[in-house]
Amino acid sequence: MADEEKKDTTSENSNLEITNKSPTKEEKMENESKPRLPRIHISKLKVFQFATVVLALLLVAVMLLSLRGGSISSDKDYVAEKTVAYLNENFGTTATVTSVEEKNGVYALILDIQGENTTVYVTKDGSMIFPVVIDKNANEEQTPSETQEPAAAEMAKSDTPTVELFVMTHCPYGTQMEKGILPVAELLGDKIDFEIKWVYYAMHGKTEVDEELVQYCIQTEMNDKYLDYLSCFLKDGNTTACLASTAIDTAALNKCINDTDNEFNVTSLFNDQSTWLSGRFPKMNIYLADNEKYSVGGSPTLIINGVDSGAGRDSASLLEAVCGAFTTAPAECSTNLSAAAPAPGFGYEGTGANTAATCG
């Protein structure tokens, strides 16, 4: 037995010696003739970009899924239907299809998931879903995280600061900001010129378009009731219940809605899909001039005294941002408001992150 163990050890050592033996002259020449891969140098400035790409690739690897039932159909509507059914069944989502188009040999599906538009890509036979796509033609020197933001303009101070919040009524990040700024608007009252305005396009269908008409008219025609209505609406988005609870004059409201609709062609623009932004989102032109003036891109966008504010979405941060615009801050600016950011979406339960996420 001992002889066998010794024999095995000898064999093992023999193998090690063969493996570690110095290469012959011929082997060196052969190795030197082989093409060598270039060394890759990643500068410190590229580390974050590299990490971002790796994370994206990992997400693709984890989320790349095979639909059940084998090959289905090359019909894009059928593929979209089966994709949504698969996602809803396996991930507990309530996704619906907003649009589907062929793009670079795959189907690009715009899905409405809990009021937020998300793009996923599906192979034409419906066998694979890609939740992340990296455009290899994109400028490798320019990623969203590295985009140079223009220097913030200096905010002019005033006796009555102007506070304009651009949102979409059903954007979860817009409602998050609205819940954060409501206590500020209620606290400061007529010491500020506060107004909710609409982003120049809607991302959440006819329901959002109709609600923006409703809120525009309440704010302009019955302004003393607007904050009460908005506070109610942000609970669960129930327009009918909030109109009743705030005693809105529905006859006056409907007249204003009809007049505003005709003035800004709201319904006609919604019905004519050829006018939609990128063929996907209906235009909302009520505040178009202000959107262009401030280069508004998404919901929410907060403008204070004509300057885009980077304030957080909690009430304390928003109060500080608004009070910084006063020539002489009033006593209310010393009030302690919540430093917890509200949760995105409808409802006042829970908290969220002071994210910079937007719809659009």
pLDDT for residue 178 is more than 90: yes
Query: Per-residue pLDDT averaged across 83-104, rounded?
Result: 74
The pLDDT value given to residue 37:
39
The pLDDT value given to residue 41:
41
The 10s digit of each residue's pLDDT in 299-332 is 999 999 999 998 999 999 999 999 999 999 999 9
The 10s digit of each residue's pLDDT in 38-70 is 343 444 434 444 444 434 444 444 444 444 444
The 10s digit of each residue's pLDDT in 104-119 is 778 777 877 766 677 8
Question: In the CATH hierarchy, which fold is given to the domain comprising 46-135?
Answer: Nuclear Transport Factor 2; Chain: A, (3.10.450)
- Confirm if 319 and 186 have CB atoms less than 8 A apart: no
Could you say which DSSP state residue 231 is in?
H
- For the chain, strand residue ranges (E) read 65-66, 96-103, 106-113, 116-122, 128-130, 162-167, 193-198, 301-304, 307-308
- Confirm if 163 and 322 have CB atoms less than 8 A apart: yes
- Confirm if 330 and 192 have CB atoms less than 8 A apart: no
Interior angle at CA 107, CA 104 and CA 108, nearest 5: 90
Domain boundaries, the chain: 46-135, 162-334
> Which is more confident, 352 or 94?
352
The 10s digit of each residue's pLDDT in 263-313 is 999 999 999 999 999 999 999 999 999 999 999 999 999 999 999 998 999
Q: Per-residue confidence at 78, pLDDT binned at 50, 70, 90?
A: confident
- Confirm if 115 and 169 have CB atoms less than 8 A apart: no
The 10s digit of each residue's pLDDT in 205-239 is 999 999 999 999 999 999 999 999 999 999 999 99
Selection from 149, 145, 178 nearest residue 164 by Cα:
178
CATH code of the domain occupying 162-334: 3.40.30.10
What is the pTM (predicted TM-score) of this model? Answer: 0.61
Q: Which run of H or of E encompasses 175?
A: helix 172-188
**Average pLDDT across the chain, whole number:** 79
pLDDT for residue 199 is more than 90: yes
Q: Residue 30 in 3-state DSSP?
A: helix
Q: Give the span between the Cα atoms of 174 and 169, in whole angstroms.
A: 7
Helices and strands in the chain: count of H runs, count of E runs? 12, 9
Q: Give the span between the Cα atoms of 333 and 157, in whole angstroms.
A: 15
List, as one string, the DSSP characters of 114-161. TTEEEEEEE-TTS-EEES----TTS-TT--GGGPPPPPPPPPPPBSS-
Query: Per-residue pLDDT averaged across 24-46, rounded?
Result: 45
Measured from the Cβ of residue 284, the count of other Cβ atoms closer than 10 Å reads: 25
The pLDDT value given to residue 132:
52
The pLDDT value given to residue 137:
53
The 10s digit of each residue's pLDDT in 134-168 is 555 544 433 333 334 444 567 899 999 999 999 99
Q: Residue 43 in 3-state DSSP?
A: coil
